Amino acid sequence: MKYRNLGRSGLKVSELSFGSWVTFNKQVDTNLAEKMFGTCLDAGINFFDNAEGYERGQSEVVMGKALKALSNPRDSYCVSSKVFFGAKENPLPTQIGLSRKHITEACHQALERLQVDYLDLYFCHRADPDTPISETVWAMHNLVTQGKILYWGTSEWSAEEISEAYEFAYANHLTPPSMEQPQYNLLDRNRFEKEYGPLYEKYGLGTTIWSPLASGALTGKYLEGIPEGSRASLAGYEWLKKSMVESDRGQERMTRVASLVLIAEKLNVSMSKLAIAWCLLNENVSTVILGASKIEQLEENLKSTELSCNHHTPLHSLLTGGF
């Protein structure tokens, strides 16, 4: 496992990390989570991603129990939470968004669920048009000075909103964001590569990228329909099934996946390894957050570093040459 600085910060994160969206508390219970973390830690992963909104906070409860059971030293790994969507089924107006009140209370609640004294990374899960960015930056800065969070960042904010947060922080001598958590994979490239392009150099923006397999689409397993038990088949994820396979856009994306599968076959590598290795080759990626519902998927995906680090294979020139 290689380690990369989280943008211009001094924090070294493993180039592969592990997240819990959809899976923890739905497909993965505490026992399996513990085994998965064991596999991750053995492989050198040092960052585990979560959010208040995943399974209404229960994903963090599962993660907290599994991390506690493993009892690895707290200074050997990083854990995150994200604030915005709330952890309640029908949240009250004060239980969502990026107000000082919700940011502060959501942090305290995440610390309790994860059974930790501080969060290494704390993200604004989306931008909040109803809260001034200045209030959000102040709230994050205060949590940093209180020692409750170490680094803060954004997720799926526009480049303009991210710039505003940096400029306000710099002008007022507050802690600026360190990272953004955007989607980035072979099918979804525009925002990461184009919109955020100037921010990497200007602000030293770090990135913890999500859905490297586009929720499983890039494994190729949806080309013959929707496999039983897969993410797109789950109750509550009908929206994903629609966007992934049933819509015109989904069909267009599946055509692109089919041509990528042919390339993977020609190169004799699995599609998931190829897709993850491709993300790793972008130097603006600080860490690729993996997702897995089964330990075999995790083991397979961890092997993608073998492809990205071998600079002498024809695969490497193909990957760097672009698709």
Residues identified as active-site: 54
Looking at 95-103, 278-286, 291-299, 303-311, which segment touches ligand NDP (CB under 6 A)? 291-299
Contact call for residues 155 and 184 (beta carbons, < 8 A): no
Position 297 contacts ligand NDP (CB under 6 A): yes
Contact positions with ligand NDP (CB under 6 A) in 247-286:
272
Segment (H or E) for 270: none
Rounded Cα distance, 273 and 285, in Å = 16
- Residue 79 CB, nearest approach to ligand NDP (Å): 11
Looking at 33-41, 107-115, 288-296, 314-322, which segment touches ligand NDP (CB under 6 A)? 288-296
How many Cα atoms sit within 13 Å of 153 on the Cβ side?
28
Rounded Cα distance, 112 and 65, in Å = 11
Binding residue for ligand NDP, selected from 215, 287, 304, 305, defined by CB under 6 A? 215
Position 212 contacts ligand NDP (CB under 6 A): yes
Beta pairing, strands 3-5 & 47-49: unpaired
Rounded Cα distance, 272 and 218, in Å = 6
Position 154 contacts ligand NDP (CB under 6 A): no
- Residue 171 CB, nearest approach to ligand NDP (Å): 27
Position 216 contacts ligand NDP (CB under 6 A): yes
- Residue 68 CB, nearest approach to ligand NDP (Å): 19
- Residue 284 CB, nearest approach to ligand NDP (Å): 17
- Residue 246 CB, nearest approach to ligand NDP (Å): 16
Binding residue for ligand NDP, selected from 25, 99, 175, 301, defined by CB under 6 A? 301
Rounded Cα distance, 254 and 248, in Å = 10
Rounded Cα distance, 81 and 115, in Å = 12
Would you say 1 or 174 has its CB closer to ligand NDP?
1
* Helical H segments across the chain, by residue range: 30-43, 58-70, 100-114, 133-145, 159-171, 190, 197-203, 238-241, 248-267, 271-280, 295-302, 304-309, 314-321
The Cα-based distances of 146 to 10, 113, 141, 149, 209 in angstroms read 19, 19, 9, 8, 27
Position 305 contacts ligand NDP (CB under 6 A): no
Contacts of 249 (CB under 8 A, 6+ apart): 243
The mark string for 39-78 relative to ligand NDP (x by CB under 6 A, - otherwise) is ----------x-----------------------------
Binding residue for ligand NDP, selected from 109, 155, 304, 305, defined by CB under 6 A? 155
Rounded Cα distance, 292 and 35, in Å = 12
Would you say 96 or 290 has its CB closer to ligand NDP?
290
- Residue 255 CB, nearest approach to ligand NDP (Å): 19
Contacts of 262 (CB under 8 A, 6+ apart): none
Position 81 contacts ligand NDP (CB under 6 A): no
Token pair in block for residue 211: 């859905």
User: Which residues sit at the interface with ligand NDP, rule CB under 6 A?
Assistant: 19-21, 23, 27, 49, 155-156, 181, 210-216, 219, 221, 230-231, 272, 289-293, 297, 300-301
